[in-house]
Amino acid sequence: MKRPDNCSTYYMCAGTTAVLMPCPEGLLFNNDTWTCDFPSNVVCPELHGTAYLVICMPGLWFNNNTWTCDYPQNVQCNPSGTSAATGVKALPSVRQQMEVA
């Protein structure tokens, strides 16, 4: 399965675990053929600053160093207000921002 933020890597399933795999130097993952391919054959969509919420499976936490879901013992402490399961920091609501101003 392709990785949404990096076309030079992809995920390979090993049982119930997704393993991040790199394509060889100079190749990109082709989601149509499910292989690493020449860049001219690959459409690598640009994210244009769009955030994608990805929720980790129960028991796993988001590892900001590897950008994958990982076992809690492999994940460094998360900052206050950040969900370890999603890696998403809660933002103040519009009402909270207006009260501060």
Is pLDDT above 80 for 47? no
Confidence of residue 46 (pLDDT cuts 50, 70, 90): low
What φ, ψ does residue 61 adopt, rounded to 5°?
A: -120, 155
For the chain, which residues make up each domain, given as ranges?
1-47, 53-101
pLDDT, tens digit (0-9, with 9 covering 90-100), for 80-94: 555 555 555 544 444
CATH architecture of 1-47: Beta Complex (2.170)
100 vs 32 pLDDT, higher one: 32
**Is residue 43 a contact partner of residue 53, using CB atoms and an 8 Å limit?**
no
Query: For the whole model, what pTM was predicted?
Result: 0.44
**Is residue 38 a contact partner of residue 32, using CB atoms and an 8 Å limit?**
no
